[in-house]
């Protein structure tokens, strides 16, 4: 039977590695760090067997730099890290955003700052994923809450990265990364795999940042005869540094437009019990699991509550949140931090609904009982 041998008992990090391979990842550079190390271990074994490359780098700065180079060479490339390593990567993530180089960065969140609690779960890197690198830049960040979603969203991260020539961040948390569940992986060919748009013109006509084919220009690979300049400076359509405002402003506008014009394709969320809800929980990552349990228990007690589970964190899915605020009196936002995504909820809601925070950043999980208690306050 199709898919029969695809049923496995696996952990989130393993599903992430499998998703990367399924999406066509053929290059990984990284440095071991808890709690993401299993991703590197698995890809160190699997990639060479598929003709790919694995390199253990000396640190996270070198890792993201190698990933950027491999992507420019035409490979789908990824790295995986945790909070301290993610911090070290920020300058190069900004370079990838400016130079529009596809790559996937997996950040398995743990308690911080600094070394913090290396083996304990957290969701403290949410704002860093959006604003960690300096300057104005678009970014895409996804957050799985199940082991199967670790597979699916890793594939999706590569697809979005390739389609929009952008770094994409997979924000896992340690609970999901080390959770083991029975998973049925999809058969090859049953899911979408996107490859970057390639030039359709001769090398002498190619401009790597031209809008002639839309807000996402085709990307040539180094070594294929297309010679072009890559820089972190603002550049013209050929990649060379510029100070001309008539080149800088269109470049900024196009860089944001390639994301803003495709929100319907990028944003992803799931709803449960919202059809008659008077109060709702907005959650993501492992906390969404506790939230779903709490909502089911509340509904069994006759409470009209529902759940909005965010799979895309950045760009922030403002529309479904605003729709909730227009029909629910109370929104509960549980997070394993001291309040990060709730800031976006408050910004979008703008006083139209009461917002209750449920937070902890001590390395322990948020329980369904804590969320249920916040719902009862309604």
164 and 277, same domain (yes or no) = no
Task: Read off the pLDDT of each residue in 308-334 and give the average, rounded to a whole number.
Answer: 97
Q: In whole angstroms, what is the distance from residue 200 CA to residue 138 CA?
A: 26
The verdict on 177 and 293 lying in the same domain is: no
- Whether 3 shows a pLDDT value over 80: the answer reads no
10 Å Cβ neighbour count for 166? 23
Mean pLDDT of 261-265: 97
Is 282 found in the same domain as 142?
no
- The answer to whether residue 263 sits within a structural domain is no
- Cα→Cα distances 299→98, 296, 302, 349, Å: 47, 5, 5, 24
Q: 360 or 227: whose pLDDT is higher? A: 360
Categorize the per-residue pLDDT at 378 as very low, low, confident or very high, splitting at 50, 70 and 90: low
Q: Of all helices (H) and strands (E), which one includes residue 127?
A: helix 126-131
* Counted domains in the chain: 2
305-310, strands of its sheet edge to edge: 269-272, 305-310, 279-283, 330-335, 354-359
Whether residue 328 has pLDDT greater than 70: yes
- 160 shares a domain with 273: no
pLDDT, mean over the chain: 96
Residue-wise pLDDT for 98-121, tens only, equals: 999 999 999 999 999 999 999 999
Query: Are 56 and 176 in a shared domain?
Result: yes
- The predicted-structure confidence for 164-202, as pLDDT tens digits, reads as follows 999 999 999 999 999 999 999 999 999 999 999 999 999
Residue 352's domain spans which residues?
268-376
List the CATH number of the domain containing 161: 3.40.50.970
Residue 212's pLDDT is: 84
Query: Does the pLDDT at position 147 exceed 60?
Result: yes
238 SS3 class: coil
Average pLDDT over residues 287-307: 97
Q: Per the domain annotation, does 252 fall within a domain? A: no
Residue 229: inside a domain: no
Nearest to 166, CA basis, from 288, 87, 265, 238: 265
pLDDT at position 12 over 50:
yes
Instruction: Tell me the per-residue pLDDT of 33-88, one tens digit each, with 9 for 90 and over.
Output: 999 999 999 999 999 999 999 999 999 999 999 999 999 999 999 999 999 999 99
For residues 9 and 147, membership in a common domain is answered with yes
Question: Does residue 339 belong to any structural domain of this protein?
Answer: yes
Same domain (yes/no): 30, 134: yes
Answer whether residue 222 is part of any domain: no
Residues 160 and 303 in one domain: no
- 328 within some domain: yes
Whether residue 198 is contained in a domain is answered as no
Same domain for 172 and 46, yes or no, is yes
Query: Do residues 297 and 174 both lie within one domain?
Result: no
What CA–CA distance (Å, rounded) separates 83 from 361? 14
- Residue 228 in domain: no
User: SS3 for 268-311, per residue?
Assistant: CEEEECCCCCCEEEEECCCHHHHHHHHHHHHHHCCCCEEEEEEC
Among 131, 163, 184, where does a domain finish? 184
Pairing assessment for the beta strands 305-310 and 76-81 based on DSSP bridges: unpaired
Q: For the chain, first and last CA: distance in Å?
A: 49
**Residue 1 pLDDT > 80:** no
Q: Considering 135, 165, 184, which residue would you say is the last residue of a domain?
A: 184
Residues 6+ apart with CB under 8 A from 79: 28, 29, 30, 60, 63, 64, 67, 89, 103, 104, 105, 106
CB 282 within 8 A of CB 374: no
Tell which of 135, 154, 184 closes a domain: 184
pTM over 0.75: yes
């Amino acid at each position: 039977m199709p898919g029969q041998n695809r049923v496995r008992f696996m952990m989130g990090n393993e599903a992430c590695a499998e998703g990367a391979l399924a999406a066509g990842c053929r290059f990984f550079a990284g440095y071991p760090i808890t709690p993401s190390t299993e991703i590197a271990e698995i890809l160190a074994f699997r990639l060479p067997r598929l003709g790919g490359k694995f390199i253990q780098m000396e640190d996270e700065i070198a890792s993201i730099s190698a990933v950027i180079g491999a992507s420019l060479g035409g490979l789908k490339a990824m790295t995986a890290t945790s909070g301290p390593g993610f911090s070290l990567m920020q300058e190069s993530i900004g370079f990838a955003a400016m130079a529009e180089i596809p790559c996937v960065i997996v950040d398995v969140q743990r308690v911080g700052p600094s070394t913090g609690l290396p083996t304990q779960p957290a969701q403290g890197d949410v704002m860093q994923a959006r604003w960690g690198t300096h300057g104005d830049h678009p970014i895409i960040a996804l957050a799985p809450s199940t082991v199967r979603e670790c597979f699916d969203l890793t594939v999706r991260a590569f697809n979005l990265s390739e389609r929009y020539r952008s770094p994409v961040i997979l924000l896992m948390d340690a609970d999901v990364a080390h959770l083991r569940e029975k998973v049925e992986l999809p058969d090859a060919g049953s899911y979408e795999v996107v490859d970057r748009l390639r030039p359709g013109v001769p090398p002498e006509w190619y401009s790597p940042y031209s809008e002639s084919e839309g807000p996402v220009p085709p990307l040539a690979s180094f070594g294929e005869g297309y010679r072009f300049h890559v820089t972190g400076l603002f550049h013209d359509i050929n990649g060379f540094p510029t100070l001309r405002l008539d080149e800088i402003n269109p470049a900024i506008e196009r860089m944001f437009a390639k994301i803003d014009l495709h929100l319907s394709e990028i944003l992803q969320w799931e709803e449960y019990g919202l059809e008659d809800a008077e109060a709702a929980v907005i959650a993501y990552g492992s906390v969404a699991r506790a939230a779903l349990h709490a909502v089911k228990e509340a509904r069994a007690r006759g409470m009209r509550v529902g759940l909005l589970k965010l799979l895309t964190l950045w760009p922030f899915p403002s529309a479904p949140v605003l729709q909730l605020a227009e029909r629910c009196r109370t929104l509960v936002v549980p997070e394993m931090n001291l309040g990060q995504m709730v800031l976006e909820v408050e910004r979008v809601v703008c006083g139209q609904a009461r917002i209750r925070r449920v937070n902890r950043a001590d390395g322990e999980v948020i329980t369904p009982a804590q969320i249920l208690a916040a719902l009862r306050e309604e």
